[in-house]
Amino acid sequence: MTDLISVIVAIYRVEKYLNQCVQSILQQTYKNLEIILVDDGSDDLCPTMCDQYAMSDSRVKVIHKRNGGSDDARKAGILAASGKYVGYIDGDDWIEPEMYEKLLCFIQTYKVDVVESGVIDSWKDVEKKRVSFFEEDCYKDEKFSKVIGPRLLYTGDFFRHGISPYLVTKLFLKEKILKFQLMTEPSKNIVDDVMCTFPCVAETRSLYITHECYYHYRVREDSAKRLIRSDIAPIVMKCYPDWIGRFEGALPEDNMERQIQFFTMYLLVAKVAFVFDNPDKEYYLAPFGNVRKRDKIILYGAGTVGIHLEHYIRNAHGNNLVYWADRNFKQLSESSNVYDPQKIIDQEYDYIIISILTETAAKSARKDLVALGVPENKILWIDQEYMKNPMTLLKTAMYKGKPVIS
């Protein structure tokens, strides 16, 4: 194995974490690496640190550019890449020493264009592994079309992808990912991974999946994925037709448009649930079956979905959020206002909304709540009607008087 791998690292305001990230790449057991550090206009010590790494190791190249977001940084990186294969890392994460040796071995052994591995969610004191929905195996041609294609973006369990959307857990044949990485991405870092990874895999139809986990995703409360944004609804309005168009390489039997409908429903419910509600009506939170604005609400779940729902409910008329709970409350800062689920039973409430949009996790949360003594009719999750036909909900989404999906 002598092929060059280009590793692209998008870097912005991560001086606290950058050394662990870069050292984990420099210490890879596979040595034939081109390490492209893309300083995305960072205004901390990252630019200086990048230059120092380049001075100490000839494999390191540095690109300094104006801030444009992670997708823009990756575009700059791949244009400078000379490797046969390309991998990605975010500047606040890190990888296991054997990651690229193992991934390259899978690619060359099974003669595939893409290899997918698992991810390790890493908090300060806790780690949790996540792997593909599909079994470890090689999927090409007819086997890909039978097993992967129809469930690539949406498995049928709300909401779970077939493989992860992350660029960072994969190794790509550069000539296969290049076209998709360089596509104009007007979604402004909302779904840049999703709409690069999945169209590439759908077109190549050449994938190996391993359940080994090599990539450490650092779970941060200030992560961009968790920040409240005001531009998501108009971005979806603008980009939805383009998302469908990106899957020209998919086959009709993949039913990709329907998969994208489920994904879009997930995205809107998770981050801009207000688009389904009429602000002049007495009821809101339509995806969860409608709740009166005067009802007292408890949220169970403080991930990305919980953060966005908490913001919406707090700012809705009445502000009737009385408690916010999560199993991982101990890993969160005190300022997050997230508390022990065991104390839910002591609260006065009308409904508990499970603010988790992964069906298996939501079912587990419901079971925990029932065990605490919560009546089942007071536990709300996304209405099952929408699981059968996402357009039933999507066609109700409005933003500034216009349909989000037309």
**Per-residue pLDDT reduced to its tens digit, 343-401:** 999 999 999 999 999 999 999 999 999 999 999 999 999 999 999 999 999 999 999 99
How far is Cα 115 from Cα 137, in angstroms, rounded to an integer? 10
Q: With a cut of 70, say whether residue 77 has pLDDT above it.
A: yes
Residues 170-226: tens digit of each pLDDT: 999 999 999 999 998 777 778 999 999 999 999 999 999 999 999 999 987 666 656
Stretch(es) of the chain classified as CATH 3.40.50.720? 278-384
pTM exceeds 0.85 for this model: yes
Return the pLDDT at 188. Answer: 79
So what's the pLDDT on residue 225? 58
Q: What pLDDT is recorded for position 406?
A: 85
Residue 105 is predicted with a pLDDT of 98
Query: Is it the case that residue 33 has pLDDT exceeding 90?
Result: yes
- CA torsion sign for 390, 391, 394, 396 is negative
> How do residues 5-19 score in pLDDT, each as one tens digit?
999 999 999 999 999
Is CATH 3.40.50.720 what the domain over 278-384 is classified as, yes or no? yes
In the chain, CATH 3.90.550.10 sits at 5-226
pLDDT of residue 110: 98
* Separation of alpha carbons 38 and 27, rounded Å: 19
pLDDT in tens, 261-288: 999 999 999 999 999 999 889 999 999 9
CA 298 to chain centre: 25
What is the CATH code for 5-226?
3.90.550.10
- The per-residue pLDDT for 124 is 81
3-state helix, strand, coil in the chain (%, to 5): 40, 20, 40
At residue 317, the pLDDT reads 67
